[in-house]
Structure 1
Amino acid sequence: MQRVARISTEVAQPPLVLSLLLILAAVRDGGGVVALIPGLVAAVTICLAPLLVVVLLARRGKLTDHHVGDKKQRRPVMLWTLGSALVGCGILTLINTPVAVWALIAGILGGILALIIVSPFWKVSGHAMTLGGATISSAMLFGVWSIPFVIAAPLVCWSRVYLKDHTLSQVLAGFVTGLVVFGSACALILN
């Protein structure tokens, strides 16, 4: 069980899940290889560049680990992520970025802000927030093709509790926050 929980946690890291969603949203309506560009720009600036910085800081001992297990370290990481995301948004305004990508970005920014506000006081699960957001937004964007996210969500949430990285209440709060923030953002922007 330990192995399943660890693999679930690593494969479903928020930056990886969100990168996949951003790329899928970019190509949702077709457009060939060129349609990938906004998704890739968003994935790199909002998810992958911040993840790279976190991994490097964790390897140098500046952060507890690449999941930023110490809640006191989370706000600075999320502020850096917000800054990187805003740079990405600036770039995306200059290219033909699909509405679906903007809807996801709004959800991601809402999630980042929630973590900035809550993290100094409570270690809400970013994994659960991401999977809650991925579940609702993928259902709204892709319909039946959202099933992999729907199936992954309970597994990843369980893994965070099983590994003792979070309590059940931290995971539930994260999941519900993801549902509400991403669901609201997608509903407002897509309609």
Structure 2
Amino acid sequence: MTETRVQGNTSGQDRIARLLTEVGAPWVINIVTSLILGCSIGAPGWGIFVAICSGVVPMCVILYGMRKSKIGDHHVTSISERHLLIVVLLAVALVGLSIQIVASAPIQMIAFMTAGLAALVVAALITSVLHWKVSVHTGVSAGVTIVLALALSPWWLLALALTPLIGWSRVHLGDHTKGQVIVGAIAGAVTTGITYALIA
């Protein structure tokens, strides 16, 4: 009976971890927060644009890579598959940011995109130079929370409670170590926070 309970509990934790990993996926968080910021500052169109650049297009690139057997899964758990993907995502972000600047998008949306780009650069350096698979999940979760707190209200800091939960899910599923999720969260929060504050 004891063994059955333990197995059942483990299975339940696995389901919760998978749910948190999917809900807390970078592309999901980027889409949701872009729309929240855009609507909150009265620029829903730009919110949609940033959501496409930071969430929809990146996931389409990943799915294309999976279809071509270049990427194993939609969370890109293999570090060897992340190098080229990061380069492509940096290019997408730069194009999106350039369009925003040329079209005179609201400064908050430009700062949001720039902050995300800066965080991606930091993640790229850690991943490709140090060859360490830092968690993008926790980086994005903590980063966008700090940006929303700066842009809209300090009450958004309460959402930081979600970051350790997402981090736990990544460790529980064996995709990251505790160190990788902690460093990811700190790097994401610090980089995006400083970048956004300097621009906006």
Q: Quick one: which amino acid aligns to residue 174 of structure 1?
A: G
Q: Distance in 2 between matches of 1:60 and 1:145?
A: 43
Pairing 1:35-184 to 2, within 5 Å after superposition: 35-120=43-128, 121-146=131-156, 149-184=159-194
Q: Distance in 2 between matches of 1:87 and 1:144?
A: 31
Displacement of 1:174: 0.2
Displacement of 1:91: 2.0
Q: Distance in 2 between matches of 1:170 and 1:154?
A: 12
The 8 Å contact of residues 16 and 47 in structure 1, kept in 2 or not, is answered as yes
Q: Distance in 2 between matches of 1:49 and 1:29?
A: 23
- Comparing 90-99 with 1-10, greater Cα deviation is found at 90-99
- Extract unaligned runs of 5+ from structure 1: none
Deviations 1:44-81 (A, max 9, x none): 12321121110232244211211111111112101101
- Comparing 88-97 with 133-142, greater Cα deviation is found at 88-97
Corresponding residue pairs, total: 186
Deviations 1:58-117 (A, max 9, x none): 244211211111111112101101111112122222434222212211211111111221
Displacement of 1:150: 2.1
The 8 Å contact of residues 100 and 110 in structure 2, kept in 1 or not, is answered as no
Q: 2:197 aligns with which of 166, 187, 190?
A: 187
Q: Distance in 1 between matches of 2:53 and 2:77?
A: 22
Q: Quick one: which amino acid aligns to residue 198 of structure 2?
A: L
Q: Distance in 1 between matches of 2:161 and 2:105?
A: 29
Q: Which residue of 2 aligns with 1:28?
A: 40
Displacement of 1:149: 2.8
Report SS of the residue matched to 1:97: coil
Report SS of the residue matched to 1:83: helix
Q: Which residue of 2 aligns with 1:6?
A: 18
Bigger radius of gyration: 2
Give RMSD over aligned pairs: 1.6
The 8 Å contact of residues 128 and 174 in structure 1, kept in 2 or not, is answered as yes
Deviations 1:11-61 (A, max 9, x none): 11111111222222222223xxxx211111122123211211102322442
Moved over 6 A (4+): none
